[in-house]
Amino acid sequence: MPEPKSARQPLRQEVVDGIKSYILRNKLRPGDPLPAEQALCDALGASRSSVREAIRILTALDIVEVRHGHGTYVGRLSLSALVESLTFRGLLSPDDDFQVLWDLVEVRELFERGMAERLVETLDEEQIDRLQGHVDRMREAEVGAGSGFVDADRSFHTLLVAPLGNNLIGQLSEAFWDVYVIVAPHLDVFTDEYGATTIANHQRIVDAVRARDAAEFAAALTEHYGPVRQRITEARTRR
């Protein structure tokens, strides 16, 4: 007779927590192997089915990674679960999709504006030249029927925060961009009419960084994100 649902859930969470504790206790890093299934069962005092269920849950969270034929390893510990959750929320609910986009834009701007002085000081000449290269790619993509425009925009903002050396900010920036590019096409907010404005605003950001002008950099970011919010508002009106 199967266990009642109320009994299974605490046991499942106990095994999940046990595996996470094992990783922390043994100071394992992403890519390090976990013990074989039977060894985990013995260490946690759990059945094979409970361990397998816990592994499935932790795999979905990217805390562990199952490599078929090789074993189970500590995962990348990325924010993929957050990306999936936010994306699904944006695609699922007409009441939520615009709010998801609005929130993502706000958080991205807060990251970049809040670090304005550090970014202006930290970005070196080679990185600034690469930022300029991404702006040039955006300009060429607009001329060439828009191919690669979004990729260049994403690469620009990824590089912009990279010098901070903060893995969490980097992962969050990537996660928010993942959600944005997945949800936005469904809302018809990528339109050619904003291309020239977007390019000009990115160029202003590069010029501010090259001049080591933190105030101008922050102002350029505000100018950049204004049209993005306008697109979301217009899309909401059309809906």
State both tokens at 38: 């039977």
Residue 38 and residue 50 in contact, taking contact as beta carbons nearer than 8 Å = no
Closest residue by Cα to residue 150 from 108, 189, 96, 111: 189
Rounded Cα distance, 22 and 230, in Å: 48
Residue 120 and residue 164 in contact, taking contact as beta carbons nearer than 8 Å = no
Rounded Cα distance, 235 and 239, in Å: 6
- pTM across the whole model: 0.68
Closest residue by Cα to residue 149 from 132, 162, 137, 157: 137
pLDDT tens, residue order, the chain (239 aa): 444 544 455 778 899 999 999 999 999 998 999 999 999 999 999 999 999 999 998 988 888 999 988 899 999 877 777 777 776 766 666 566 677 778 888 888 888 898 999 999 999 999 999 999 999 999 888 655 445 888 899 899 999 998 888 877 877 777 778 777 777 776 665 566 678 888 999 999 999 999 999 999 999 999 998 888 887 887 777 76
- Could you tell me where in the chain the CATH 1.10.10.10 domains are found? 5-74
Q: Directed axis angle between helix 97-114 and helix 149-161, to 10°? A: 40
| 51-54 CB contacts, 8 Å cutoff, 24+ apart | 51/15, 51/19, 53/12, 53/15, 54/12, 54/15, 54/16, 54/18, 54/19
User: What Rg do the C-alpha atoms of the chain give, in angstroms?
Assistant: 22
Q: Directed axis angle between helix 195-210 and helix 214-238, to 10°? A: 160
Topology (CATH) of 80-238: Four Helix Bundle (Hemerythrin (Met), subunit A) (1.20.120)
The residue type of 8 is R
- Could you tell me where in the chain the CATH 1.20.120.530 domains are found? 80-238
Quick one: CATH architecture of 5-74? Orthogonal Bundle (1.10)
Rounded Cα distance, 82 and 61, in Å: 9
